[in-house]
Amino acid sequence: MANSTPLHVVTGKGGTGKTTVAAALALALAGEGRNVLLCEVEGRQGISQLFDVPPLPYEERRIATSDSGGHVYALAVDAEAALLEYLQMYYRLGRAGRALDRFGVIDFATTIAPGVRDVLLTGKIYEAARRRKGDKSSPFVYDAIVLDAPPTGRITRFLGVNDDVAGLAKMGPIKTQSESIMTMMRGPQTAVHLVTVLEEMPVQETLDGIAELTSEQIPVGHVVVNLVRPNLLSESTVAALQSKKLTAAAVGPVLDQVGLPATAAEMLVADGFGHIARQDLQDEQLQIIAGCGQPKVELPLLSENIDIGALQELATLLAPLVGDIK
C-alpha cells in the first residue's frame, strides 16, 4: 500500500508557463474523476488569477469541477502559517506560537533562513499527500496533488532540503518527518515535470535540472515543451524566400493589386525570414530535448489569453503526464 497519494511536481524556468501547465495538469487529473489538490508555494497567487477566483488563503478551497465528477482544490502554502501549524501539531504550542507570531519571531524564522522556509513548505505538501479520510487503511483525501514548484534553478535544493535537516537532527519528530519527506520525494508516487520553451537558455536549464534531480534520485517525469509556435510557411514559400525568388520587389505589385500598400512588402519579407529563423531554432532545440531521454509533451502557443477554456484545451494534451504515476 502506498504511503502517499501521487505527487506531480511542476517546475520550469521563469517565463516558461509552469503555473499554467500545473493548472492544466490539475484539470486533466480532475477530468478522470479524481479529487486533486493544486498547491503553490511562492506567494504569487498565480492559481487564483488563472481560475479567476479571489486570492487563495492558507486553506484548501474548491476552484473547479469537471463533468466527470472530479474536483480541483487549491492551496497557497504560507511558510509562517505552516510553522504555526507545525508548532501546534508536534509541540502543542498553539497559544504560545501565536504569541511568538505577535513578537515577529515567526516572520524572522521563515525569512532569515531560506532552508527553514523550504522545510515548512515541503512539510505541508507532505502532510496533504499522506492525509487519509479515516484510519490508515482508508483512502487518501486527495487522489493526486499537483505542486506549482519553485523554478528549475532551485528545484533540486527545494525538494531535497529535508536531507540536510535529517542529517543535522539527531532524533525526534523533526528528523523522523524529514526522513519521511525524502522517502516520499524519491518514491514512485512522485514525478517532477520540467516545463521549457524552445530557446537555448530554458532548454539548457531543463537539461541541468534533469541531471541534478537524477543525481539526487528524485524521479523525473515529462519534459513539457510549452508555447510551441506553428509553422506558418509552406516548404515552397520557404524555398522561394531562401533562394531570393520571393523578394519585396515581387511581393509589392501583388499587395498593390489587392489594395494594400506596396511599401509593406519589405516588412512582410523580413517577417518571413524571421519566422524561418524561429522555426530553425525550435527544430534545433527539439532535437536537443529528444536526446535527454525523457518523454515529452508539446503544448501550442495559444493566440488568446489563458482562461479556463484555454486551460481545458491544454489539459487534453497533458494526458500522458496523468499516467506517469500509477
| HEC-encoded secondary structure of the chain | CCCCCCEEEEEECCCCCHHHHHHHHHHHHHCCCCEEEEEECCCCCHHHHHHCCCCCCCCCEEEEECCCCCEEEEEECCHHHHHHHHHHHHHCCHHHHHHHHHCCHHHHHHHCCHHHHHHHHHHHHHHHHHCECCCCCCCECCCEEEEECCCHHHHHHHHCHHHHHHHHCCCCHHHHHHHHHHHHHCCCCEEEEEEECCCHHHHHHHHHHHHHHHHCCCCEEEEEEEEECCCCCCHHHHHHHHCCCCCHHHHHHHHHHCCCCHHHHHHHHHHHHHHHHHHHHHHHHHHHHHCCCCCEEEEECCCCCCCHHHHHHHHHHCHHHHCCCC
Q: What is the pLDDT of residue 87?
A: 58
The mean of the pLDDT values for the chain is 86
The region of weakest confidence among 89-98, 156-165, 215-224, 311-320 is 89-98
Give domain limits for the chain.
7-229+301-322, 230-292
Q: What is the pLDDT of residue 139?
A: 95
- Please, which pLDDT band fits residue 326 given cuts at 50, 70 and 90? low
**Tens digits of residue pLDDT in 219-245:** 999 999 999 998 888 888 888 888 888
Give the chain's radius of gyration (CA, Å).
Answer: 24
**Tens digits of residue pLDDT in 99-156:** 444 434 444 444 444 567 788 889 899 999 999 999 989 999 999 999 999 999 999 9
- Residue 123: CB atoms within 10 A of its CB come to 25
Q: Hey, what amino acid is at 77?
A: V
Q: Hey, what amino acid is at 74?
A: A
- Give me the mean pLDDT over the 191-201 stretch: 97
* Right CATH for 7-229+301-322 from 3.40.50.2300, 3.40.630.10, 3.30.450.90, 3.40.50.300: 3.40.50.300
- Please, which pLDDT band fits residue 202 given cuts at 50, 70 and 90? very high
Set of cell numbers at residue 200: 537555448
Higher-pLDDT residue of 161 and 196 is 196
Per-residue pLDDT at 293 exceeds 70:
yes
For residues 175, 214, 116, 48, the Cα torsion angle rounded to the nearest 10 degrees is: -120
Per-residue pLDDT at 59 exceeds 90:
yes
**Tens digits of residue pLDDT in 80-101:** 777 766 656 554 444 444 444 4
- Give me the mean pLDDT over the 249-259 stretch: 80
Set of cell numbers at residue 58: 492558507
Taken in order 96, 102, 105, 109, the sign of the CA dihedral is positive
Distance between start and end Cα atoms, the chain: 12
Per-residue pLDDT at 172 exceeds 80:
no
- Give me the mean pLDDT over the 269-292 stretch: 91
Instruction: Say if residue 164 is exposed, middle or buried (CB neighbours under 10 Å; 0-12, 13-18, 19+).
Output: middle
Set of cell numbers at residue 68: 466527470
Quick one: which of 303, 296, 290 has its CA closest to 317? 296
C-beta of residue 148 within 8 angstroms of C-beta of residue 22: yes
Q: What is the pLDDT of residue 109?
A: 45
Q: Hey, what amino acid is at 222?
A: H
Per-residue pLDDT at 20 exceeds 70:
yes
pTM of this prediction exceeds 0.85? yes
- Residue 17: CB atoms within 10 A of its CB come to 22
- Give me the mean pLDDT over the 275-299 stretch: 94
- Give me the mean pLDDT over the 184-199 stretch: 97
Q: What percent of the chain has pLDDT over 70?
A: 86
Set of cell numbers at residue 21: 501547465
Q: What is the pLDDT of residue 169?
A: 57
